[in-house]
Amino acid sequence: MEDLLGLLRIHIKRGVNLAVRDVNTSDPYCVVKMGKQKLKTRVIKKDVNPEWKEDLTLSVTDPVHPFILVN
């Protein structure tokens, strides 16, 4: 197991004017990746301007790993 250096808390607030991916609307969610970790917000049905207001927490084991917000 890798040594834990700390925790990174990311606040996912909202999406604005997201692209329509389903028929006439979208069911968006947000994915954050760092190293081997992958976290996801809840799905908000039929909304192109979703408000998640969620905190996601990643374990930091290597400070040079970038975190990635996946579309």
Pairing of strands 31-34, 67-70: antiparallel
Q: Which residue has the tokens 């990643």?
A: 58
Higher-pLDDT residue of 45, 67: 45
Which CATH code of 1.10.10.1100, 2.60.40.150, 2.30.40.10, 2.60.40.10 fits the domain covering 6-70? Answer: 2.60.40.150
pLDDT score for 1: 54
Between residues 68 and 56, the one the model is more confident about:
56
Q: How confident is the model at residue 68 (pLDDT cuts 50, 70, 90)?
A: confident
CA dist 8 and 24 (Å) reads 36
**Could you read off the pLDDT of 3-61 as tens digits, one per residue?**
899 999 999 999 999 999 888 889 999 999 998 999 999 999 999 999 999 999 999 99
Half-sphere exposure of 4 (CA within 13 A, CB side): 5
